[in-house]
Structure 1
């Protein structure tokens, strides 16, 4: 049993009409943590290019990663593979959410990336010290000015997501990026149903629970029936939801190949429900 193959497994981002593969590449700790680390730049560039070549054409980064250095690495990858071949997701840090700071941060990120626009630009974390309306209006201006094709948020619960949308008049939010895996399923309580109903993409970060899924006996058992690894089953379980995209971090060529193998096929409903019942945090 290998599971039904899917000829073209693409998902729409929000209601933008833009379709991307359901598994992308996360870049946290690539090029540094909160500070730049230049020691492995060539290696990281090779890995990201390899991931794009495998079909994971969505790259997720943030100005906070490596204090901007991660964006520089991603920018060099964009030039190697062709900007048009990558769906670029970037995030503005929570200290830059007033109108002027947000615009400056976006422009600085674009300079580091060497591009003139984001495909999707997200508020990385909410900041109660800055009026949400001010932030959302500044984000909306980025779309109207052609700096971002679409906008969204990250780490917003349903209540904050609804509030954020209420401040927009010309553009809607396309995505909410949150922690979500087979073990961490808070998003399922009300955020995921809301996003599915409203046409908002849920982007799942830490989808492999920092490697924990690889050792799960239920995921391994299900995978054995499909000729797939536990990691691939865990990713396929996430993207079984039409409105979910997963962004595992690039770690090695082997990991990227395994991650890419999480798409292009589909768990049966029975196995999806079995995993939902039996695998818990």
Structure 2
């Protein structure tokens, strides 16, 4: 489990279940596999993946509806639900409207609410002001950002008057590591949760022979090895989609064990670009949990 002080009494699982393309696509709903998708979310929760990531844009809100259906019967306080508001809805009134609509589709409050990407037209401080209002109203508990660099995160922090920015969600993987000396490092230094989306690069890492060879030592697959590499880093939570219960079960087997330090470093060195990491970033990764 991720131990994040800013969340205090809440537990964030070491891996999050992602719902992008579950329930449809970009502002487009699909009901073709509702039963299977709902079963997958339920199975994830049963296996300890209790952090669920969604957004109003996913399936035009249908992903949130599926999450709301799937969590019925589970103890709500043991779940951590993340949703996001699209940048075209970043104005004060539209944020309030979007959050309330998402909450209604989910059938519950939102634990973490993120601005999905920077807005080109709405001042960031206006969005943050709406987030703080939503905390006061009990619609959300925490807020953060997605697809922001460290300077954007600092700007958002400067806008806060009552509460704190507690999380950042960006693209990060063994093959896409530009955030290592920017948002990821900033998150670590400031106690923010860093949620990494597309950590398996749409299946590319599941077929990686180097990871597969290391996995043989642990009786694990390449994807399980990659996911374990991520969850061995403090404050980093990989977001993984699984559209079938069987796929969920494979992903869940990346938890509750740890790569040896030697193997973790071997993976780190294998995938990093020569000369890319700066000294302080290397120090960051050496602080990984044993």
TM-score by length of 1: 0.93
Map Cα deviations across residues 199-241 of structure 1 (whole Å, 9 max, x no partner).
0000011111101111112111111112211101100111111
Report the counterpart of residue 140 of structure 1 in structure 2: 132
Structure 1: stretches of 5+ with no match in the other structure: 1-9
Contact 2:148 2:183 in 1 (8 A): no
CA distance in 1, matches of 2:235, 2:35: 34
Per-residue deviation, 1:154: 0.6
CA distance in 2, matches of 1:93, 1:221: 41
Report the counterpart of residue 72 of structure 1 in structure 2: 65
SS in 1 for 2:168: strand
Per-residue deviation, 1:182: 1.0
Report the counterpart of residue 163 of structure 1 in structure 2: 155
CA distance in 2, matches of 1:87, 1:261: 20
Answer with 74-83 or 268-277: which moved more.
74-83
> Which residue, out of 79, 87, 91, partners 1:86?
79
CA distance in 1, matches of 2:191, 2:153: 13
Contact 1:13 1:175 in 2 (8 A): no
> Which residue, out of 16, 19, 44, partners 1:24?
16
CA distance in 1, matches of 2:119, 2:194: 20
Report the counterpart of residue 190 of structure 2 in structure 1: 198
CA distance in 2, matches of 1:126, 1:120: 17
> Which residue, out of 50, 61, 64, partners 2:43?
50
Report the counterpart of residue 228 of structure 1 in structure 2: 220
Per-residue deviation, 1:138: 1.0
Report the counterpart of residue 38 of structure 1 in structure 2: 31
CA distance in 2, matches of 1:72, 1:177: 22
Contact 2:39 2:244 in 1 (8 A): no
Contact 1:26 1:61 in 2 (8 A): yes
Structure 2: stretches of 5+ with no match in the other structure: 274-290
RMSD value over aligned CA atoms?
Answer: 1.3
CA distance in 2, matches of 1:90, 1:191: 20
CA distance in 2, matches of 1:14, 1:127: 29
